[in-house]
Chains A and B, each alone.
Chain A
């Protein structure tokens, strides 16, 4: 299962899969980077800087603006992985790139291929004409061999 590029860019963050699809408009606050849809099981969760896994798009078509504004403000996810192509999410990311040169890569990867990435502490996503790379990483400054060692003072 190969991820496909929808919007080019590079981003790195903790992988986060939402329990249900999210409408960015009415469901996400570009000022705080949090889920504000009270019907959503992830209500209150902060999406800023994560690699967001969404099964599909949902809800109002104003979602593109909210996502683009969040990318402009720096409160958006660092990258988005879609289980099914969604024009609303793609447009938000394209416009932020066009107006501000700020890139939030969007890639398409069916849900069946997510498991390999969701357990990683950090995930680096880069998408360009050459293809999509999704690389699990350890947190910066914390090499893998020390990450589980007891803390000494």
Chain B
């Protein structure tokens, strides 16, 4: 497959927008050819998942563009980094990692990226609009933008997302194109557990759909009509962890799926697969490595980053006895500013909540407690924390998490 850039794009390749943009174009061109694109399209924004220090390669890559005087061509938000720059004292790792992690975050700012440092850019003022072409990294952000907003992005890895931002271009392929956005399978919820709260149900559905859908875009029917944006965010984040889901259609809930027909984009030969209550219960059980009753050392919420609405829900739950173990909540510096204005910070602190910004508790040495088990209501955190932190996870609803924090052990309703 050969890429056919138009004249404006050829000019970028030939250095009209500087050496950094030309180098980025070269990478983008080879990537586009690898994924089978024949042309590039203009994007309105980018979200960069390159701030997380994964080793020397992370810094070497960005510095190459900084050294060439590169600047992003479109509004570009930044994903979480390795360090909470607002509360650097929380960082418990070695000095070298802290230095390199901070350098990486600042190097991205030097390219003109916005210091949002959040995995939930859809909760900032740079939230894209329906139908807008964007190039986003970070799996939960990608699935949210495509599914809940109806913006259009492929699954970008770090490096390519920055190449898109530096050129203002993306390969015209996959989910950028309307004809590729129809569902390829329908999951029908037949008997969702009645006693579950909505968020727990969303995580369970995300886990099942993520593991069963494979490369197909899933449509989901039978979800409660009152699922909130926070619930859909949890569903997508879990589905993108358990599988490679970049777009789902929640029929009756998400913008490209007012009804099943729209979600299928006219196709009638789509397979329907039932999802049973017992399968959902089993999926939730698999997210825990320990049994109820086991002592826990901490609770972690906010993966993806907590929104103002989610803090509001938490505020109602933490009024009461103080937690015996710390409750960490990951969020962005922007959201902290909002909840500070709301006057919520002191109640959160007295309820035992520690805020973590710019980063996430499962990414590195942020929490004072090094050993688990730790509890979460996040399907994504439950998926990755055992591998990343080497701990056992207890998984439950938000109410379970707060009850567990107060009891100092894993409590499940």
Give the B-binding residues of A (Cβ under 8 A): 6-7, 21, 25-27, 30, 36-39, 56-66, 68-69, 72-73, 84-85, 87-88, 90-92, 94-96, 98-99, 106
Report the minimum CB–CB distance from B335 to chain A (whole Å). Answer: 22
22 of the cross-chain contacts (CB-CB < 8 Å) are A7-B30, A25-B54, A36-B387, A39-B286, A39-B386, A56-B244, A61-B137, A61-B139, A61-B158, A62-B52, A65-B58, A69-B57, A87-B156, A90-B34, A91-B157, A94-B34, A94-B159, A95-B61, A98-B27, A99-B57, A99-B64, A106-B34
Q: Which of B243, B289, B384 contacts A26, CB < 8 Å?
A: B384
Given contacts A57-B244, A95-B159, whether A65 and B35 have CB atoms under 8 Å apart is no
B55 touches A73 (CB 8 A): yes
**Which chain B residues lie closer than 8 Å to A90 at the CB level?**
31, 34-35
How many B residues have CB within 8 A of the partner chain? 42
Contact A65–B244 (Cβ < 8 Å): no
B243: A residues at CB distance < 8 A: 58-59
Contacting residues, chain A, for B52 (C-beta < 8 A): 62, 65
CA distance A44 to B178 in the complex (A): 41
Q: When the two chains form their complex, are residues B55 and A61 in contact, meaning their CB atoms are under 8 A apart?
A: no
Closest chain B residue to A21, Cβ basis: B244
Residues of B within 8 A of A73 (CB): 55
Taken together as a complex, chains A and B put the C-alpha atoms of A88 and B246 apart, in Å, by 13
B70: Cβ under 8 A from any A Cβ: no
Partner of A85, one of B27, B36, B56: B36
Asked if A64 meets B215 with Cβ closer than 8 Å, knowing A36-B387, A38-B387, A59-B139, the reply is: no
Contacts of B30 in A (CB 8 A): 7, 94
**Contact in complex: A30, B55 (CB < 8 Å):** yes
- Which chain B positions have C-beta within 8 A of A65? 50, 52, 54-55, 57-58, 157-159
**Alpha-carbon separation in the docked complex, A58 to B155 (Å):** 10
- Asked whether B358 is an interface residue with its Cβ less than 8 Å from the other chain, the reply is no
Q: How far is the CA of A58 from the CA of B214 in the complex (A)?
A: 9
B383 at the interface (CB under 8 A from A): yes
Within the complex, the shortest CB–CB distance from B306 to chain A, in Å, comes to 19
How far is the CB of B336 from the nearest CB of chain A, in Å?
24
Which of A37, A87, A95 is B34 in contact with, Cβ under 8 Å?
A87
Interface status of B100 (Cβ within 8 A of chain A): no
Contact residues in A for B142 (Cβ distance below 8 Å): 61
Whether the Cβ atoms of B154 and A87 lie closer than 8 Å is yes
- Asked if B102 lies at the interface with its beta carbon under 8 angstroms from chain A, I say no
Whole-angstrom CA separation of A65 from B101 in the bound complex:
14
* Cβ contact within 8 Å between A66 and B49: no
B160: CB under 8 A from chain A?
Answer: yes
Contact of B386 among A25, A38, A64 (CB under 8 A): A38
User: Does B240 sit at the interface, judged by CB under 8 A?
Assistant: yes
Q: How far is the CB of B412 from chain A (nearest CB, A)?
A: 20
| B228-248 vs A, Cβ < 8 Å mask (1 yes, 0 no) | 000000000000110110000
* A87-B155 contact, Cβ under 8 Å, with A60-B139, A94-B31: yes
- Residue B60 interfacial (CB < 8 Å): yes
Task: Report if A62-B34 is in contact (Cβ < 8 Å); known contacts: A91-B157, A95-B159, A99-B57.
Answer: no
Residues of B136-163 at the interface with A, using a CB-CB cut-off of 8 Å, are 137-139, 142, 154-161
**Contact call B31/A91, Cβ cutoff below 8 A:** yes
- Confirm or deny: B388 has a beta carbon within 8 angstroms of a beta carbon on chain A: yes
In this complex, the member of A56, A60, A61, A96 whose beta carbon has the largest number of chain B beta carbons within 10 angstroms is A61
Residue of B nearest to A82 (CB): B34
How many Å from the CB of A65 to the closest CB on chain B? 4
- Distance in angstroms from A14 CB to nearest chain B CB is 24
Residues of B within 8 A of A68 (CB): 54, 57, 61, 159
Least CB distance from A107 to B in Å reads 11
Known pairs A62-B54, A65-B50; A85 contacts B387 (CB<8 A): no
Known contacts A91-B159, A94-B31; A61 and B386 CB within 8 A of each other: no
